[in-house]
Amino acid sequence: MAHFIEQLVNAITLGSIYGLIAIGYTMVYGIIGMVNFAHGDVFMVGSFIALIFVLLLGISAGTPFILLILALILILVVAMALTAVWGWAIERIAYRPLRGSFRLAPLISAIGMSIVLANLVQIVQGARVKPLQPIITGGVTLIEGVGGAGATISNIQLLIILTTIGLMVLFTWIVQATPLGRAQRAVEQDRTMAALTGVNVDRTIAITFVIGAGLAAVAGVMFLLYYGVIDFFIGFVAGIKAFTAAVLGGIGSLPGAMLGGLVIALVETFWADWVGSAYKDVAAFSILAIILIFMPQGLLGRPEVEKV
């Protein structure tokens, strides 16, 4: 039982990271109906920005608690701000000029931006993996075990889960109850009519890209603190998993993105634990295929209504 709970905590932590990245995918798709294939590399850039500032500030597990919290908040804010600039640049360079073109053009452009970001980081930081010693240590015991075999949740896992829940609630509220959210939903339904009613369509889309990039930066910081190893290629793998999570949960739905991330992480974690890690990705994508056969709109997605 203790081992099961331990693996469940691991899956929820991984699913939280996937979910944060998937929200960026689903927000952009919900607004312009396009998938931002450079989003995974924005997540990777956020991880590297966080690593650079961790090293510059010289924080470690021995840093006093108050200073550690303040430093991590500063790192998170800086990573979100700098990564948001990349999100804005992707929208401005790869999407806005091609918005009226055929649907594949922005996707090809976004893939090009993904390659540019990955290779830029590889050139600047090198191809070797970048390690980081654990900064947040300790944890909470969930179940006492015999001989130290109980179930625990580490403080970094707790931080990731609580941060994800908080951001999920915050952005759901933003979309549902704020002027920005109303503008986003108006642009999603009909860009032309939204513009006629006074909505600044270009600004709304740009802000959506910026928000998605900021969330990817949060996921990047959490990934760095949790795993302690990053390289220029993590954006591709995490991006594919997060995109899968967004499709599984129902692309366009924020709660669906989180649910999809949790499902993918649960399948991966328990498959690797019970069967072996060699085919965990096959299992995750197989679950996606099976669910989409019976629920083409995803777990929480809405069926598309054809406008006539």
pLDDT digits (tens, 9 = 90+) for 220-235: 999 999 999 999 989 9
The pTM for the full model equals 0.90
- Tell me what the mean pLDDT of segment 190-219 comes to: 91
Beta-carbon contacts of residue 17 (< 8 Å; ≥ 6 apart): 160, 164, 219, 222, 223, 226, 238, 261
Number of domains, the chain: 1
Residue 70 pLDDT greater than 90, yes or no: yes
Domain membership flag for residue 185: yes
Distance (Å, rounded) from C-alpha 236 to C-alpha 218?
Answer: 17
The mean pLDDT value for 20-41 works out to 85
Average pLDDT over residues 193-208: 91
- Whether 129 is in a domain gets the answer yes
Kind plus residue range of the DSSP H or E element containing 265 = helix 254-274
Amino acid 61: pLDDT: 83
Expressed as residue numbers, the domain containing 178 is 2-234
Taking the C-alpha atoms of residue 245 and residue 39, their distance in angstroms, rounded to an integer, is 14
What average pLDDT does range 48-57 have in this prediction? Answer: 93
Contact (CB, 8 A) for 250 and 299: yes
What is the C-alpha to C-alpha distance for residues 263 and 21, in angstroms, rounded to an integer? 14
Mean pLDDT value of segment 88-109: 85
Q: Is residue 277 part of a domain?
A: no
Give a yes or no: residue 12 inside a domain: yes
Report yes or no on 248 lying in a domain.
no
Share of the chain above pLDDT 90, in %: 38
Q: What are phi and psi of 132, to 5 degrees?
A: -140, 125
Please check whether residue 141 lies inside any domain of the structure.
yes
DSSP 252: T
- Average pLDDT over every residue of 53-77: 90
